[in-house]
Amino acid sequence: MRSRVIGTVLFGAGVLALVFAAGLAFFVAPRVERLPYDLDRTQSVAEAPNARFLQITDGKAEVNQGTLRSTVTVQPDVKETARLDGKLDGDAVVWLVGQEVVRTDTKALISAYSTSLALDRKTGAAVRWDKQWLDTGNNRQRVDYSGQIYKFPFGTGKKTYDIFDRDIGTTQPARFVKTEKIKGLETYQFTQEIRDARQELPADRLQILAAQLLPGATTGHVSYSNTRSVWVEPTTGQFVKVQETQNKTLVGDNGQKAVILDAVFTYTDDTIARSADTAAANRQRLQLVTVYAPVGLLVVGLALTAVGLAMTLRRPRAASVDGGPGSGRGRHTGPGPDGSLASTTPPADPDLAGKPGR
């Protein structure tokens, strides 16, 4: 009776563990793998040593050489996120992003932009939102973002993803290249190739640049190429390292050309280390909820239900039909040599049988 009670308790505990395992796997885990509303403000720094770049000072345009530092700042826009409605409500988050590029020697500002966009909380991809904008320093304009920009999906796969490029205003495919360990963390490398695309600039700005850099030209266009590689921690989709080999050439209407950007931007060692540490910590938290806890509860639940079921179904031990010691029950008896009823059961030890007591 007691074993049945214990078995029932164990069986119930096992079922409860299985329920919790299913709840974590199918209800909690999908909600954990989403961009948080209260994301901390982050900065990523990349440098391009010995870069050639266009610098405009007091209206004068010239191509200089030096080391450039790019700082990208990302922070959530809580107010705009709260205003999202329809399909975006609960499934998207609004980010404010800004970038500044400066010369490291003079601290002079070379270029800057700021933007507001909405991202899918699961995939990290940009979603359609009628209030997104981009400001490159001239004026704030509407932009239609799509694809991955600042993050890859939770559970990134070894496949091709589209990455949005701000300079051409559209996406281009980034193909999976290989896995690589960075700071002890496994990452997936993706590379995007943009070749001889055209970057749109305001007509008045093109005229000024052409007149100063291409004698005899009255206008032109900018030819843009970029090899962009990103190293992504696959569980979280976070960037651990980014490298961009950029080239921009001003092509005049008279056939002349001038390189206005030739630079290789790479995350600094400090940014890579911080990104790897953050991604590793976030991955551990995600795996605890999505893998370790559900699997552990599943194993414990199955074990408890099996033991509990076995104890519950086990039959109670049958009562013995033999009498107590010396009762004579269960023995085969027959007449002895002298005609008396004597047991024919042999003594336990033949050496002791028939010997007189001492």
Q: Would you say 116 and 80 are in contact if contact means Cβ atoms under 8 Å apart?
A: yes
How many other CB atoms sit within 10 Å of the CB of residue 90?
12
State pTM to two decimals: 0.76
Domain residue ranges of the chain, discontinuous segments joined by +: 2-23+294-313, 33-267
Beta-bridge mates of residue 142:
133
> Residue 33 and residue 26: Cα distance in Å, rounded?
12
Maximum alpha-carbon separation in the chain = 146
Query: In this predicted model, what pLDDT tens digit does every residue of 207-246 receive, in sequence order?
Result: 889 999 999 999 999 999 999 999 999 999 999 999 999 9
* Separation between Cα atoms, residue 11 and residue 305, nearest integer Å: 4
Give the orientation angle of helix 293-313 with respect to helix 2-23, to 10 degrees.
Answer: 160
- Name the amino acid, one letter, at 210: A
Please say whether the beta carbons of 312 and 7 come within 8 A.
Answer: yes
Q: What is the pLDDT along the chain (358 residues), one digit of tens a residue?
A: 676 667 666 656 656 656 655 654 554 455 556 888 888 899 999 999 999 999 999 889 999 999 999 999 999 999 999 999 999 999 999 999 999 999 999 999 999 999 999 999 999 999 999 999 999 877 789 999 999 999 999 999 999 999 999 999 999 999 999 999 999 999 999 999 999 999 988 888 888 899 999 999 999 999 999 999 999 999 999 999 999 999 999 999 999 999 999 999 999 999 999 999 999 998 877 666 565 555 665 666 676 577 656 767 776 665 554 544 444 444 444 444 444 434 444 444 434 334 444 3
d(CA 134, CA 129): 13
Strand partners for 185: 182
